[in-house]
Each structure stands twice: as structure tokens, then as C-alpha cells.
Amino acid sequence: MSLAAMTWIFLGAAALLFTAALLLRRIPPRAVLPPVGGALAVVLLLTAVFDNLMIAAGLFDYGEHGLSGLRIGLAPVEDLGYAATAVLLVPAVYWLAGGPAERGAGVRATADGGRTSAAGTLAGLLATSRPLSWINTAYPFAAAYLLTAGRVDAAFVVGTLFFLVPYNLAMYGINDVFDHDSDLRNPRKGGVEGAVLEKARHRGVLWAAGLAGAPFVAVLLAWGTWVSALVLAGSLAAVYAYSAPGLRFKEVPGLDSATSSLHFVSPAVFGLALAGAEPTPQLGALLAAFFLWGMASHAFGAVQDVVPDREAGIASIATVCGARRTVRGAAAAYLLAGALMLTTAWPGPWAALLALPYVANVLPFVRIDDAGSAAAHAGWRRFLWLNYVTGFLVTLLLIAAWWGR
């Protein structure tokens, strides 16, 4: 099947799913088409720009096989089809998973809305996997593997898909099952920041979390080395240990932030190991900076939950250290991460500047007290979108690094 034909198939399927979501959720098209249209215009523009940059840098080239032959500069128009597919697919999946169609219209409810059908089960699994955060684990693996191996191959595709969905289903699914009681007390759970599934769904979520990733893990282990196998085993162990009974690393202050950071750093380390990267001091500094960023982000995220976590008897770095000290510690960790990036090779020092927006995001809360810790939720919401802006800028730096080889 040609790439052009696949593009039309995926785009058509996304359009059908988008239409189905509007009909099933009874969403007025006039309420959502303007923002979706605006997002489509921005994504198509960025796709055209970045495709041209990456093809010009030699990251990849489609040739002419299976293409329509139409191009925007160096980029085939088929890539715009995949971008449009994503723009239609993301809101459709979000609405079908129970997300509100209007800003500020969120409701406190279980992720599957009480449905017992297969559609309700899938919606619950989708919600618990946190689609908003999929890219945070898939991107580190993909970038590390691509820059090391210098090619897009089967291992790249399988690994990216694994860290995109099954890995997140395991990580957040285990968490949502064993944090169910405390999540019921948490007003921010029950939407894109965390599913609250009915207890009847819990066993199915755990089975799905294990089975969905098993084929990917088997293939990646077979294709890798003993080093990459150890890294993957450690990554999966951290996913389990964070929330599972008997371990519950998330309730050990300090270890909670370190383990959470490993959830995002370990995919990058695995990508490096799978592609055969050679360890260097500068690579170590880069990974250490990434690790500090992850710890700072988790610690700041824990601040908003100080009150519900204490009510549920859950210890965290924020409940033990207090909201104010935790915020200040997060700011310091962000600054240290930026300082470490200054020791890396070009264009790494430019990435040091990317720590500053995160510092600016937490500074308004340096005087926060425990009773008012819920106010940090505003900063956490900004953090979620700040990651996308940072990812955009990191991509520019990676292209520059590739181009400078």
C-alpha cells in the first residue's frame, strides 16, 4: 500500500471518529469547529516548516516511492494528512473518553461514565493512560534512538509505539487502581489529569496494563543487548514500584520524585542503549539534567495535593517538607539542571535557557503555605502546556545538532 493511500485511510478514519464523537456527545459543531480549525492551521504550518527543516538536515527522506508527487518545498503533502489526522483524532478521543467539549465545563465523574459496554471499557483505559502525557515518554526514547542510530527502523517504530501508549497505560493504570481511594478526595482527578475508575474496572485495567505492553517488551528484548535489557527491566520495575502495594515508592519522600523522574528519563536511556550509544561525561551531564528536571517537576506537582494526600494518609515529598520548601527546592533543581546543560556540547548550552520558564512558573508559589497549596494547581496546568513549548524548542536544537554533525 502506498503512503498516499495510507494517508487517506488514516485521515478518513479520523474524520469519521471526529464526526462520531460530535454525534454521540451531542456537541454543537459551531462550539468546537473554530478552535479545531485554528489548531489545524497552526499544526499544518508547523508540520510544513519542520518537515522541510528535517529533510534538509538529512534526518530522513521519503524519495518518490508511494507518494503523489506533490510537495511543499521538500515536504510531501502526505505529511500534512497525518498532521490533520492528529488534530481530528486528539479531540475525538478526548470527548469519547468523557472530556468536556466546552472550556471550564469539566465534571467530577468516573472516567467511563458508568458505562459497562466495551466502548466504556476502552474509554476508561484511554483515560487512565493520560493521552495528554503520551508524548512525554515516547519523545525521549525516539529522540535518543534517532540521534544515536541515525535512522528510522523497526526498533525505532516499535519502541516509540511502546513508550507512547502501553508504557503509559501501565504507569498510570497501576497508579489509578491503587490510588483510587485518595483520588476520590482529590478535586482535580476525574479528567485529563487522572482517571477515577469504578472498582469493578480495576482488575481489567491491571490485566490490560500488563498484556498491552508484553508483545512490545518481548520484541525489544529480542532486538537489544543485555545492557538495553537491564535498562528496560529497571524502567518497568520503577513503573510498578511507584504505586504497587508493598513498595509504594510514591510514599517515600525523595524516592517518590526520583522514581517519577525515572519514568521519563529511562525511555531515553533505553533508546541510547538500544542504539548502542557510548557513554561520555557530556551525555551523563545531559541525562543528569533531565533527571533533575523530572524530580523538580514531580515535586512541584505534589504541592497541589498536600491537603488531599494528608487526608488520605499518603506521604510525599510535599507533605513531609511542606508546600513552601518543596516549591523552593523545585526551583533550585530546575536551575541546577540548566547549569548542567551548560557543560554539554553545542547546542546543549542553549537548552540551559529552557530551564528558566520552569523556574518562572514556580516562583509565584514560593511563599505558598500548606493550607493554600491547592493554588499551585494553576502552575501545574501551565506546566503541562509548557512542556509542549519546550518540546518544540528542543526539537529545533536537535535539528541543529544533527545538522552540525
With respect to residue 181, please indicate whether it lies within any of the assigned structural domains: yes
Instruction: Kindly tell me if the per-residue pLDDT of 183 is higher than 80.
Output: no
Instruction: Kindly tell me if the per-residue pLDDT of 104 is higher than 70.
Output: no
Domain final residue pick, 278, 312, 333: 278
Number of domains, the chain:
3
Domain final residue pick, 261, 278, 295: 278
With respect to residue 226, please indicate whether it lies within any of the assigned structural domains: yes
Query: In the block, which residue shows the cell 508484553?
Result: 214
- The amino acid at residue 11 is L
Return the sign of the alpha-carbon dihedral for residues 62, 64, 66, 70.
positive
pLDDT at 21: 80
pLDDT at 217: 95
Pair 40, 8 in one domain: yes
pLDDT in tens, 289-300: 999 999 999 999
What is the rounded distance in angstroms from the CA atom of residue 287 to the CA atom of residue 233? Answer: 18
pLDDT at 237: 97
For position 290, which CATH number holds?
1.20.120
Q: Are 255 and 300 in contact (CB under 8 A)?
A: no
Pair 91, 225 in one domain: no
Pair 133, 274 in one domain: yes
**pTM score of the predicted model:** 0.75
For position 226, which CATH number holds?
1.10.357.140
With respect to residue 116, please indicate whether it lies within any of the assigned structural domains: no
pLDDT in tens, 311-344: 878 889 999 999 999 999 999 999 999 999 999 9
Q: Which band of pLDDT confidence, cut at 50, 70 and 90, is reported for residue 110?
A: very low
Residue 191 bridge partners (DSSP): 194
Cβ neighbour number for residue 377 with a 10 Å cutoff: 16
Distances (CA, A) of 398 to 220, 233, 297, 347, 348: 25, 28, 22, 8, 9
Q: Which band of pLDDT confidence, cut at 50, 70 and 90, is reported for residue 17?
A: confident
Instruction: Decide which of 47 and 247 is more confident.
Output: 247
pLDDT at 63: 58
Q: Which band of pLDDT confidence, cut at 50, 70 and 90, is reported for residue 106?
A: very low
What is the rounded distance in angstroms from the CA atom of residue 387 to the CA atom of residue 123? Answer: 25
Residue range of the domain that includes 71: 1-96
The contacts found for 316-319 with CB under 8 angstroms, 24 or more apart, are 316/250, 316/251, 316/253, 316/256, 317/253, 317/254, 317/256, 317/257, 318/373, 319/253
Q: Which band of pLDDT confidence, cut at 50, 70 and 90, is reported for residue 271?
A: very high
Pair 308, 372 in one domain: yes
